[in-house]
Every structure is written in C-alpha cells, then in structure tokens.
Structure 1
Amino acid sequence: MRDFVYDRADSADAAQTAAKEGARAIAGGTNLLDLMKHEVETPDRLIDVNRTGLDQIEEADGGLRIGALVRNADLAAEERVRRDWPLLSRAILAGASPQIRNRATTAGNLMQRTRCAYFYDLGSACNKRSPGSGCDALNGVNRMHAILGTSEHCIATYPGDMAVALVALDAEVEIAGANGKRTVPIAEFHRLPGDRPDRDNVLEDGEIILGVTLPKPTGGAQVYRKVRDRRSYAFALVSAAVDVTVEDGKITRAALTLGSVAAKPWRSNEADKVLVGSEPSRKAFENAADRLLQGAQGHGENDYKIGLARRTLVAALAEATGIDIAGDAA
C-alpha cells in the first residue's frame, strides 16, 4: 500500500469540499482498503466521512430516506425495512459476512467495484483499471463474468446484492456536487462499460452520495434469490430480485431485476410488462425471463449463466406468487 494523507470531515459540506479537491471518501473501507492494498487504487488523500451525520433512516413522503452512512447491518435490521421493503433486507443479509455488514455503508455498497480477478491483478490487461490496456477476461477465466451489456472493452460484473434489490424497488440516489444536489434513479446510477469501463457509475469528480430514497411500499410480494458456490460469504453467480402484485388471479404489477449478469443490476421495463395481465404460471415466468435475458451472450466459461439466470428468475417468481412449478415441464 502506498502512502496517503488521512483527514476527517465533520459535515457533509466539508466532505464535499474535500472531494472537490480530489480526496477519496472512506467510511467502512471494506472495498477501498482492499483495492489500496493491491495498489489497484492509489489515492493520495482519504477523507473519513463517518462524522458527517449521514447515518439516519427517516420517513420521506410515505417512503424512506436512507443516509449514505447507514450501516448495512442496521438497514437490514430496521423494522420498517423488514416490514415494507423485505426484499432489501433479504438482499443485504445475503451478502458478505456479519462482520462486513457491520462496517459497510449504504453509499460504500453502491460504490464497490468489480471482483474480476484481472482487475485485481496488476500484471493483467484490464481496461477498467488501466484504460486502453485490453481485457484479458474476454478469452480468459470468465466463469463469473457478464452475459449482458458487455462490450469489447470489458465483461466485468457489478458484484453487489443491495443495489439489485434497490433497482427492483425503484429507489433513487441523492448526490451532492459543485453544481448543487441532484437525484438519479438507482437503475441509472451504475454504467455499462461501453468504451469507458473505468467509469463504474455516473458520479462526477467532486460529487458524493448523500443518501438513497425508497418510494412508498408497493404492497407486493418480494423475493430475493441468490445462487452462489457456497451458502455464505460468496458473491453471486446469479441473483434475482422480484416485487410482484397479484389481484384476482392476475399479475397487476411486476419489477424484475437480475444481479451478477452485467456491470449493473439488470432490469427491463419490457420484461416487467410481459407479466402484467397474466396468470402466474411457469410459462408466463419463462416468457418474462426470456425477455429480460434478450441479447444475453456467454464468453465460454460463463455460458451456463444464461440458463441459470432464467431458472433463478422463474424460481423467484414462483416463490413470490406461491405457484408450485415443480411438476411443470421445464
């Protein structure tokens, strides 16, 4: 790890000022410190934001405003979240270990970077780490990599669980910068690689996250399903977040999001609409999954993800709607 200057900010304004001057914000440090140890990231200055007061959970227009510094463990345990947005609580509890959840923050979770092995290996070509160097994952060990939204420059995935749930719940991210505050739908916060895979999200230089806002509860049935190599403390091979409302035997609203299949949580309004008006059934679920996975392409070792993502989403929808599909034809 290289030398750096460490400072503390006592307010959100002070943190923003430091960010404008090039400092990197640090709270739990569960990802950034790892990156610094590997010298993947080498910031000259860190600004500790733990004393900025952004650690509150408050009601907001029938929804909930979650401060940037709310710890993952506290958010998952929050009574209102467990009651009205259980999808979020379940997604958080599916990620990392209890020790990490006790330190990781809402903003830090959103800002975490890919776990692509080539990104962490300074001897490998990685456009996300070193733009223009190439992407060794394209023809390398890519079992964990993306099948949607990729480019010739990068096939890395966004590894988190919390953001997958937040996208299904239509959350918004509150951002502060030199030009004032702005709000971005969480579905638009993370970027696809395109020709700039080094840019993970839409934050501009000097901007910081102030919080995340959940809209009013939908009252739908919510399920988070995560498939991984081991039952705990492992990143997803594929995950699915669903929020579905059924009235009089018909689906009247659906929000479907896949995780670990792209550089951002993957949702399609068209796939949501496929289910609306349908009776819950394996066929309806498969049609929606096929629409959500339209254009999916494997890169060798990760070809299996296409079928796995389809089955995972179908199983999550069956759980949410209470439909037994065990005996149906696959």
Structure 2
Amino acid sequence: MNPFSYSRAAGAADAIRLGAVAGTKYLGGGTNLVDLMREGAEHPEALVDVTALSREIEEREDGGLMIGAAVRNTALAEHRAVRQRYPMLSRAILAGASAQIRNMATIGGNLLQRTRCTYFYDGEGSRCNKREPGQGCDAIDGFNRNHAILGASPACVATHPSDMCVALAALDASVHIEGRSGKRSVPLVELHRLPDGRPDLDTVLEPGELITAIELPALPLASRSTYRKVRDRASYAFALVSVAAALEVESGTVKDVRLALGGVAHKPWRAWRAEEALRGQPASEDAFRAAAEAELADASPLKDNAFKVELARRTIVAVLGDLAGAGR
C-alpha cells in the first residue's frame, strides 16, 4: 500500500475543497476502497473522510425519500418507510455482503464500489483495461463464469457488484452531486457507464465531485416489489443474476412495471425492453417469458457464462409470477 495523507471533512463544502487536489479519493465506510488499496488496484495520494455528510433519511410530503450519502446500509434497509414503500430496496441491501459490512458501508460508497472481477484485482499477472487502459482483458478468454452477458465491449466484460444499485435503478432513483462547478442531479441509470473503450471510467462523475444524497421518487407500485438474488451460496456471495421488480396489475392486465437486473452487465441493468413489452399485456407466464426474451435478445455470453441467459430468463419469469400472484 502506497503512502497517503488522511483528513476528515466537516461537510460537503469542506470535502469538495479538500478533494480538489489531484490523487484524492473520498472515504466513506471504506469497505471497498481499503480493499482496493490493499490489493494495489487503487493508489490514492490522499483520503478525505466524508462520513460527516448527511445521515438523514427525509420523508418527503409527496411520499418520496431523500437519503443522505453517509447513511449506513443497515439503517436504510431497516427504515420503516423503505420497508413499507420500497421493499425491493430493503431486500436488495440485506442480500449484500455481511451484517458487519452493511453496518459500516455508506449509501454513497455503495454506488461507487468497483467490480470484483478477479483479473481486476490481480495486478501482478493479469491484463485488465479497467485497471490500466490499453493492457487488454484476460477475462474474455479466461475464466468468465461471473462476467457480463449484456452491454459488454471488447475492452471489458466485468460486472457491477452492487445489489442496492439494482433496486435503485428499478425505482427511478436520482443521485445528487456537488462539485467545484456547483450542484447537479443524475438519474441512477445514467450514473454508471458501460465499458465501451474506457472501462477504467466507472461513472460520469467529474474529478472532485461528491455524491451527497440519493432521491427516491414517490412510486406507489413499488410497495408491491421484491428483489431476488441467485448466487452460488446462501450468503456473502455476489449475484450470478439478480432481479429487482415492481408490478401493478389491474383486472388481470399489467398496468405498470419496473424491472432491473444485476450480475449481468457493467452497470445495474434497467430492463426497458421488458417493461415496454409487458405494459398492457396479460399478467401471465407467457407474457412474462416473452418480455424476458425481448430483454435478453442481445445477450452475448462468453464461454463459461452462457447459463446466465437462461437463468436470467427464468428468474424474471418467476419473480414477476410471484408478484402477480400476490396482487390477486
């Protein structure tokens, strides 16, 4: 681990001032960044502790929520309004990591965690464009069982590791950002980038910009929602495939739907095609399967992960079927 300086920001303005220096990284719970530093995948010259950012979960009059970036994962998952209005979010958070990590990890940090691709972490013997652009990607012809089937590129086939972000993508969340140029808001689905030719750039954040809050809009159908994670073992494992879904059925017909996938792409994957295919259709297994097939039509599996296509299809159908049955 390289030498670095450490400072604690008093708030957002102070953090942005301290973060203006090149080579600086913001530190929340440290559950990912410290690992990356230990493995040599990150080499910050300075760390700015931003745990003084808001830890408030504000219930808005319209039914939405404003979530401070320093809120701990456990606190968000256990919040009454989250469990009642956005159950998929609570279940997604509880499906991730361990209780000890959830107690430390912050919401803002969760959004910025980096891939767990083993080639990304192996700096000694593996080529990785995400770690060092232009090196190549050993995962493409290597062991790629856990890698992407959607949205990948010849430069990178890594997947995004967050469970929480999959639910946030389905819930139309937006991310509040501050930097030297002022404040802005970005839809969660636009925060993370697909790899294209620059997989080292995970997000659209500019240097020195800081996530200050996540906003959830009022979304009545989200009260009937869920999150299902398919993984190799029952806990402390990343998703092979995950599905976040909310469904509103009226007189046997899909009135509205939200759907996002995890474990299949470089970013949380909002299933726009499937949603479009479902609205106005019967809430039936055939319709759910057709929607899943529409979403997965462009899947491009690798030699070890072709099973993910069928696994994603079956998981989408099963989750939507469960929600439709619960609504009857």
TM norm structure 1 = 0.96
- Give the number of aligned pairs: 323
Q: Shift of the alpha carbon at 1:270?
A: 2.8
Determine if contact 1:146/1:298 at 8 Å carries over to the other structure: yes
Where in structure 2 are there 5+ consecutive unaligned residues? none
Alpha-carbon RMSD: 1.2
Q: Following superposition of structure 1 onto structure 2, how do residues 18-29 of structure 1 map, counting pairs within 5 Å?
A: 18-22=18-22, 23-29=24-30
Q: What amino acid sits opposite 1:103 in the alignment?
A: M
The answer for the alignment partner of 1:264 in structure 2 is 267
Q: Following superposition of structure 1 onto structure 2, how do residues 74-223 of structure 1 map, counting pairs within 5 Å?
A: 74-122=75-123, 123-220=125-222, 221-223=224-226
Q: What's the % identity of the aligned pairs?
A: 53
Q: What amino acid sits opposite 1:26 in the alignment?
A: L
Q: Following superposition of structure 1 onto structure 2, how do residues 4-43 of structure 1 map, counting pairs within 5 Å?
A: 4-22=4-22, 23-43=24-44
Deviations 1:101-150 (A, max 9, x none): 00001010000000000000012100000000000000000000000001
The answer for the alignment partner of 2:291 in structure 1 is 288
Deviations 1:210-249 (A, max 9, x none): 1100000323420111000000111000000001101121
Give the secondary-structure state (helix, strand or coil) at the position aligned to 2:7.
strand
Q: Any runs of at least 4 consecutive aligned residues in structure 1 with deviations exceeding 3 A, and if so which?
A: none
Q: Distance in 1 between matches of 2:110 and 2:130?
A: 19
Determine if contact 1:267/1:292 at 8 Å carries over to the other structure: no
Q: Distance in 2 between matches of 1:266 and 1:97?
A: 24
Q: What amino acid sits opposite 2:206 in the alignment?
A: E
Determine if contact 1:223/1:319 at 8 Å carries over to the other structure: no
Instruction: State yes or no: 1:242 paired with 2:245.
Output: yes
Q: Distance in 2 between matches of 1:172 and 1:50?
A: 20
Determine if contact 1:258/1:265 at 8 Å carries over to the other structure: yes
The answer for the alignment partner of 1:45 in structure 2 is 46
Q: Shift of the alpha carbon at 1:46?
A: 0.2
The answer for the alignment partner of 1:57 in structure 2 is 57
Give the secondary-structure state (helix, strand or coil) at the position aligned to 1:295.
coil
Where in structure 1 are there 5+ consecutive unaligned residues? 324-330
TM norm structure 2 = 0.96
Structure 1 residues 217 and 158, CA gap change in structure 2 (3 angstroms): same
Give the secondary-structure state (helix, strand or coil) at the position aligned to 2:154.
coil
Q: Shift of the alpha carbon at 1:61?
A: 4.9
